[in-house]
Amino acid sequence: MDDVPLCPEWWPRLVWDLHYHKLPWIHGGGGNPVNIPPELDRIYQELSMHTMTYAMQDKAAAQAIRSSLEQSLSKAVLGLSAAHDAAMKK
């Protein structure tokens, strides 16, 4: 793995991680450097995005984003067992 620099204390950690760690469902491949399964990594990121929408000025757009994320989160959670089974077959 490339030598990823440490996140500065003054920079939002989520933004740093999204910039430096390739997302498996976009770039292919396995999970992040601490071996969090890609499904959980995705769930954590979507939960973070969901929370950030509460700071948006456009409340209607924020609600639309939350609704979309909630559907995606639901599918991801319901698919955890299948993802685990698929990973164990590799």
d(CA 86, CA 26): 18
Domain ranges of the chain: 35-89
* pLDDT tens by residue, 73-84: 999 999 988 888
- The pTM (predicted TM-score) of the whole model is 0.61
Handedness of CA 76, 82, 85, 86 (dihedral sign): negative
* pLDDT tens by residue, 13-56: 777 776 666 655 555 555 445 556 778 878 888 988 999 999 99
